[in-house]
Amino acid sequence: MYVEKLNPKDYEKLYYYLYLTRYADELICKNYKQGMLQESHHSCQGEEAIAVGSGILLGKDDYVCPSLRARGYFYLKGATLKEMMAGMYGKVTGPSRGKNTSHHMGDMDRGIVCGSGIIGGALPVAVGVGLGIKKRGSKGVVLVSFGDGSTSRGDFHEAMNLAAVWKLPVLFVCENNRMAMGNTIEGEMAIDRVAIRADAYGMPGVTANGNDVLAVYEATAAAIERARKGGGPTLLEFTTHRWTGHGVKDADAYRDRAVVESYKQDCPLDNFRKVLLAKGILKKRDLDRIEKAAMKEVDDAVEYAVQSDHPPVDIVATNVYV
């Protein structure tokens, strides 16, 4: 059991980032509705445990390429909430001074791989990063995350296959919320578990509860160890739910409200809180303290974003080439 190695500081960190992700997301959705944000936002409420529970395992030599709903990875790999938030507001203090969005930001120095707005398009790139890791002789891994719907794309297939043939240190992390925009999983695939797809490539496929941050941690830790030892890629499927519409503008009118509400009974934060309190790892007042700190970081970041300038127009045509 890898989770046994977690110490109280780790638990604090997990809870901190779970809470921060949730609180930031709620604020973003609220501010978006007030017309203050530029970036098209895809809420990760209810899905926070996946990025947080796996992202916390990534070290300095590791890379991550987050999906559009996987904000946690950014924070855990050192992107500041300030720059992320500035990105959402389209400010010059955001990623690449406003040229890229925050949810696809790339920063190789911090191990963050630029995503693609073309669903699935980042997977072959992540495999290339994995190839680079191997060529360097490093013990690093690259984690690329994506949704269940993304697994229908040809690029998913080509990337999975190539990573498996070359035994590259790539973790394919699927956030299975059983929805792709307005399509349900039955309209996406004729199988019930995405992890089955791993067999087609001769790589291990694991399904775990994506709303249990410790289950995410456990499954990811095993896959990382395997990859570091040269065992090659793993497909990790984390089951979860989408609480909101697809994007901030989506009224989600095509889903049964009662069903969506029921998802909220399986809240990754609540789930974790219960474990922390029951096992006495953290006390209620610890949680309060952590929450307050996280809220402050978020509020500061929003303030920073609001105060920041818009990009100066004279940078628009710079740095197309190096």
Partner 1 sequence: MTILSVRQAIREAMREELLRDDKVFLIGESLGPYGGSFKLTEGLLAEFGPEKIMDTPLSESAIVGCSVGAAMMGFRPIAELMFADFVTIGMDQLVNNAAKMIYLHDGALPLPLVLRMPEGGGATMGPHHSQCVESWILNIPGLKIVLPSNAHDAKGLLKSAVRDDNPVVFIEHKLLYNEKGEVPEGEYTVPIGKAKVVREGKDISIISYSYMVKKSLEAADILAKEGIDAEVVDVRTLRPLDVETLAESVRKTEKAVIVHEAPVTGGAGGEIAAVLQEAAFDYLDAPIGRVGALETPVPYSYTLEQAYLPNTQKIVDKVKQLVTR
List contacts with ligand TPP (CB under 6 A): 69, 117-119, 146-150, 175, 177, 179-181, 242, 246
Q: How far apart are CA 171 and CA 161, in angstroms?
A: 13
Q: How far apart are CA 66 and CA 70, in angstroms?
A: 5
Query: Which of partner 1, Mg ion, ligand TPP, none is residue 146 near (CB under 5 to 8 Å by kind)?
Result: ligand TPP
182 vs 230, which CB is nearer to partner 1? Answer: 182
Q: Are 31 and 53 in contact (CB under 8 A)?
A: no
Q: Are 244 and 252 in contact (CB under 8 A)?
A: yes
Q: Are 2 and 222 in contact (CB under 8 A)?
A: yes
Helices 213-228, 8-33: crossing angle, 10 deg rounding:
110
Query: Which of partner 1, ligand TPP, a second copy, none is residue 177 near (CB under 5 to 8 Å by kind)?
Result: ligand TPP
117 vs 187, which CB is nearer to ligand TPP? Answer: 117
Report, in Å, the least distance between residue 307 CB and ligand TPP: 31
- 156 touches a second copy (CB under 8 A): yes
Report, in Å, the least distance between residue 236 CB and a second copy: 16
61 vs 270, which CB is nearer to partner 1? Answer: 61
Report, in Å, the least distance between residue 184 CB and ligand TPP: 10
Report, in Å, the least distance between residue 116 CB and a second copy: 15
Look up tokens 């890229």; give the residue: 100
Q: How far apart are CA 80 and CA 302, in angstroms?
A: 12
Q: Which stretch binds partner 1 (CB under 8 A): 48-56, 67-75, 291-299, 304-312?
A: 304-312
Q: How far apart are CA 143 and CA 133, in angstroms?
A: 12
**Amino acid identity for residue 175 in this structure:** E
Show contacts with a second copy in window 187-216 (CB under 8 A).
Answer: 187-191, 196-197, 199-203
**Amino acid identity for residue 172 in this structure:** F
What are the tokens at 192?
């019930």
What are the tokens at 232?
């090659």
Q: Which one, of 22, 46, 30, lies nearest residue 259 by Cα?
A: 46
Binding mask 169-198 for partner 1 (x = CB under 8 A): -----------xxxx---xxx---------
Count of residues in contact with a second copy, rule CB under 8 A: 25
Q: How far apart are CA 238 and CA 222, in angstroms?
A: 14
Report, in Å, the least distance between residue 139 CB and partner 1: 15
Show contacts with Mg ion in window 156-185 (CB under 5 A).
Answer: 177, 179-180
Binding mask 178-217 for Mg ion (x = CB under 5 A): -xx-------------------------------------
Q: Are 62 and 221 in contact (CB under 8 A)?
A: no
Q: How far apart are CA 257 and CA 55, in angstroms?
A: 31
Count of residues in contact with partner 1, rule CB under 8 A: 72
By CB under 5 A, name the binding residues for Mg ion. 147-149, 177, 179-180
